[in-house]
Chain A
Amino acid sequence: MNKVVSNAQAAIFDVQDGMTLMLGGFGLCGIPENLIAALVQKKVKNLTCISNNAGVDDFGIGLMLQQRQVKKMISSYVGENAEFERQLLSGELEVELIPQGTLATRCMAAGYGMPAVFTPAGVGTEVAEGKETRVFNGKTYLMEMAFEADFALVKAWKGDTQGNLIFRATARNFNPLMAMAGKTTIAEVEELVPAGELDPDAIHTPGIYVHRIFQGNDYEKRIEQRTVKPR
């Protein structure tokens, strides 16, 4: 078993036009920077992207939007991106907005082998339109389907040659859930170590979910809202 690939370009060699991709991250925190750069370079298009946010104009998924590579975004919040807004209003881009917890849980369901989950989020709202509902103990729930994605692209802090992953701080967010949910999961990590170096008790994502792994480089880790207090 060899999961280690040399770089992002090699990792996405079989990503093709029209595919559905999951991309980890919350805002710009914990996004797979190297893989996004490789997708931009590869110029794959008509992609459906499942990601909590759509990046900003000149970073993250925003870079793919600039190149018109995205046909549809499935996200919970897309507010930080003027090019996104332009494409949405002009009809070039399709967007499906879903509650953040629903997004997370639909990834989780895929990774846990469950076809659907029931959640109260969105009951009585336009999110519920066309969806099956069920009442449990007097409360109404929506049936939400597990996601199906050709690839999940995630970013971890550390990983080993078996594909085991450890995330750092709030850069964890959707990454471990998407890692479990992709038909093929590609992980980029800040530090790639030989199997055996990570404490088995500390691993967040077992390598069984991860098909390809590489050590990324030149992480920019851009901060969206730099808030500080005086010394």
Chain B
Amino acid sequence: MLNKEQIAQRIARELRNGMYVNLGIGIPTLVANYVPEEMTIVLQSENGLLGMGPFPFEGEEDADLINAGKQTITTIPGSVFFDSAMSFGMIRAGKVDLTVLGAMEVADNGDIANWKIPGKMVKGMGGAMDLVASAKNIIVAMQHCSRDGKSKLLSSCTLPITGLGCVKKVVSDLGVFDIDHRGFVLLERAPGISVETIVASTEGRLFVPDEVPEMTF
């Protein structure tokens, strides 16, 4: 089973040189730690920054310089600031190449639910609905099953929807999946995880090719 760091590490393998990438809060944020040295990736933070740098050194925090998770960050050479309308404008216009975000549930048609659990305190969707409705390429980082063992890769989402038919790829703790007309297409298994385990853990339609390689780290 992949831990959070490994999920992030596996997603980082989808990065290509020169991509503009928006990373959501949680596991997606960790992807930034695994960008290959030789690669230039420009991170977009939807509160109004392209070219997000690492956390500042202690004592150099700037209250005016935060990311969408409200963490203090830094700029890098080539960084640029803009307002929130332009930020979502570039997202809506498809200029951001890749969006990585977490999910509570994903359906085999690409629907995603990640903003609300009815009956619990609802904090809001933030930028998630804008991102999923417009991003060209969305990869979801998530746990395959809930704590009580229920599949979160479903035939249809049970929680309130964030966006319809938008997820292209899922990296869970059990494997890597594309989503197309066949449903979840199993591409890779986590180390030590069998195809049978993945079949048993996936409620949505699952297509299993003849060869399913095991991931290596």
* B54 and chain A: residue at smallest CB distance: A229
A221 and B63 form a contact (CB under 8 A): yes
Interface residues of A (CB under 8 A from B): 26-30, 52, 75-79, 85, 88-89, 97-105, 107-108, 119-127, 157, 167-177, 204, 221-231
B47 and A29 form a contact (CB under 8 A): yes
Whether, in the assembled complex, B83 has its beta carbon less than 8 Å from a beta carbon of chain A, the answer is yes
B48 and A79 form a contact (CB under 8 A): no
A-B pairs, top 9 by smallest CB distance, nearest first, are A101-B88, A79-B123, A101-B130, A221-B63, A104-B84, A77-B124, A120-B133, A99-B129, A124-B164
Whether, in the assembled complex, B38 has its beta carbon less than 8 Å from a beta carbon of chain A, the answer is no
- CB-CB under 8 A from B62, the residues of chain A are 169
B173 to chain A, nearest CB (A): 25
* B73 and chain A: residue at smallest CB distance: A227
- CB-CB under 8 A from A30, the residues of chain B are 64
A29 and B70 form a contact (CB under 8 A): yes
Q: Give the dominant DSSP class at B's interface.
A: loop
User: A102–B92 Cα gap in the complex (Å)?
Assistant: 11
User: A177–B88 Cα gap in the complex (Å)?
Assistant: 13
Given contacts A77-B125, A79-B123, contact A222 B63 (CB under 8 A): yes
B127 and A99 form a contact (CB under 8 A): yes
B72 and A225 form a contact (CB under 8 A): yes
- CB-CB under 8 A from A98, the residues of chain B are 125
B16 to chain A, nearest CB (A): 25
**Residue from A79, A122, A170 in contact with B133 in the complex, judged by beta carbons closer than 8 Å:** A122
- CB-CB under 8 A from A224, the residues of chain B are 66, 70
Interface flags for B70-81 (1: CB within 8 Å of A; 0: not) read 111101000001
- CB-CB under 8 A from A122, the residues of chain B are 129, 133
Given contacts A228-B56, A231-B58, contact A169 B70 (CB under 8 A): no
Whether, in the assembled complex, B121 has its beta carbon less than 8 Å from a beta carbon of chain A, the answer is yes
B120 to chain A, nearest CB (A): 11
A225 and B129 form a contact (CB under 8 A): no
Given contacts A123-B164, A169-B64, contact A225 B70 (CB under 8 A): yes
- CB-CB under 8 A from B58, the residues of chain A are 228-231
Q: List 8 A-B contacts (CB under 8 A).
A: A30-B64, A100-B125, A125-B129, A125-B161, A169-B64, A170-B49, A224-B70, A225-B71
Interface residues of B in 39-65 (CB under 8 A from A): 45-49, 54-65
User: A118–B177 Cα gap in the complex (Å)?
Assistant: 32
Known: A26-B66, A124-B111. 10 other contacts (CB 8 A): A76-B125, A78-B123, A78-B124, A97-B122, A108-B85, A120-B133, A125-B160, A169-B81, A172-B48, A223-B63
B128 to chain A, nearest CB (A): 8
B81 and A170 form a contact (CB under 8 A): yes
User: A76–B84 Cα gap in the complex (Å)?
Assistant: 12
